[in-house]
Amino acid sequence: MSAVLASSASAAPAVARSEGVWSLAWRRFRADRVGVASLVVVALFVLLVIAAALGLVARDWQREVGVPSAPPTFVGPAPKVESVIAAPSGPLVDLSDVDPLAPKYREWAERAAQLATTEAPRRDTLPFGGDRLGRDVLAKAVKGSEISILVGVTAALLATLIGTVLGALGGFFGGRVGDFLEWVYNVFTSIPGILLVFAFAAVTGRGVTSVVLILGLTGWTGIYRLVRAEFIKHAVREYVRSAEAIGASAASRMFRHILPNVSHVVLVQLSIHVVGFIKAEVILSYLGLGVSVDQVSWGTMLAEAQSELILGHWWQLAAATAFMAVFVTAFSLMTDALRDALDPKLRGLE
């Protein structure tokens, strides 16, 4: 053996690595116009989120800059509504004789005049309208994007992590481990989803972290099943057997050999869950179980919009919906393109 090697070991030029699976997938992704366009949209949103987090935009979203429920600029200011109660027609009755505070009014008026009030004039209209406190809806939507997307992505990462690790263990080892995990899975899925979310919410209380935990801890089941199925399939493949034959440990076989081969499933599930969790956060906040009152998310905006809509103030609903719809649609399309790019079965068909 050593003789064989000695004779041929002389030449060891640096060999360029061939194009890997990922760069191939990237090339296919780039060829997909819809995919690239949606990627750009998603990237813009990510930039927006970063800018909002750094306070570059929408920092003072809580300032009440407009009149309450200021309509959007393009609609024009709300017509001045005359008082519903008709003004009395006759002369006002002088009550000074019976009013014990009457002598003080003059003094108070003088003192009040000495104080400089700094209240800025409220604007009649805002670019995309204001809420019932007169806060700029556009700034709220931008700030809301930050929370909603952050919650969606972190919760999806958490759920994917839990689902992938448990799925890998269950699928790879099977037997007792697999049975136990199946049992856990069955318990989780046997409870109606929304009930489970309520139960978690009751325990953890409100806040961004709670929402992430709630969604992550309840949303891993689908990923678990898919990853488990992939691991069951791959665990008996010959390349995994070969790895076992050369003495690779179980962990190495699971995460070094099999995981890269099923990563497309995980990645696609991750993106699907980002979309799902953003929507779930909206529902949670709408129901009052989401982020706390001093924060804003698309969900809280929608919850507020409910009462505004009766008064005909549609702009908050429209802003939140538009932001969410654009982001979710772009993200879903990007996910589709990603799946197509990563799916080895679709190669060569364009």
Nearer to other proteins, 16 or 112 (CB): 16
Distances (CA, A) of 133 to 4, 65, 81, 141, 164: 83, 9, 18, 15, 45
Q: Min. distance of Cβ 162 from other proteins in angstroms? A: 24
Cα–Cα distance, 319 to 302 (Å, whole number): 9
Nearer to other proteins, 59 or 241 (CB): 241
Nearer to other proteins, 208 or 341 (CB): 341
Angle at 196 between CA 193 and CA 197, to 5 degrees: 90
Please, which residues have CB within 8 angstroms of residue 146's CB and are 6 or more apart in sequence?
48, 49, 52, 53
Contact call for residues 206 and 292 (beta carbons, < 8 A): yes
Q: Min. distance of Cβ 261 from other proteins in angstroms? A: 6
Q: Quick one: residue 207, left, alpha or beta (phi over 0 = left, psi -120 to 50 = alpha)?
A: left
The 3-state DSSP class for residue 128 equals coil
Nearer to other proteins, 235 or 324 (CB): 235
Q: Min. distance of Cβ 182 from other proteins in angstroms? A: 16
Q: Min. distance of Cβ 262 from other proteins in angstroms? A: 10
The helices-and-strands tally (H runs, E runs) of the chain is 14, 0
CA 296 to chain centre: 12
Nearer to other proteins, 177 or 318 (CB): 177
Q: Min. distance of Cβ 231 from other proteins in angstroms? A: 15
Nearer to other proteins, 25 or 320 (CB): 25
Contacts to other proteins by CB under 8 A: 1, 4-5, 7-9, 11-13, 15-18, 20-21, 31, 237-239, 241-248, 252, 257, 260-261, 348-350
Cα–Cα distance, 330 to 221 (Å, whole number): 25
Nearer to other proteins, 18 or 83 (CB): 18
The DSSP secondary structure of 195-214, one letter per residue, reads HHHHHHHHHH-SSHHHHHHH
Cα–Cα distance, 320 to 289 (Å, whole number): 18
Q: Min. distance of Cβ 343 from other proteins in angstroms? A: 13
Which amino acid is located at 218 in the chain? T
CA 126 to chain centre: 26
Q: Min. distance of Cβ 332 from other proteins in angstroms? A: 24
Nearer to other proteins, 234 or 273 (CB): 234
Which amino acid is located at 278 in the chain? I
Contact call for residues 319 and 137 (beta carbons, < 8 A): yes
The 3-state DSSP class for residue 136 equals strand
Q: Min. distance of Cβ 187 from other proteins in angstroms? A: 22
Q: Min. distance of Cβ 3 from other proteins in angstroms? A: 8
The DSSP letter of residue 191 is: S
Cα–Cα distance, 302 to 38 (Å, whole number): 25
Nearer to other proteins, 68 or 178 (CB): 178
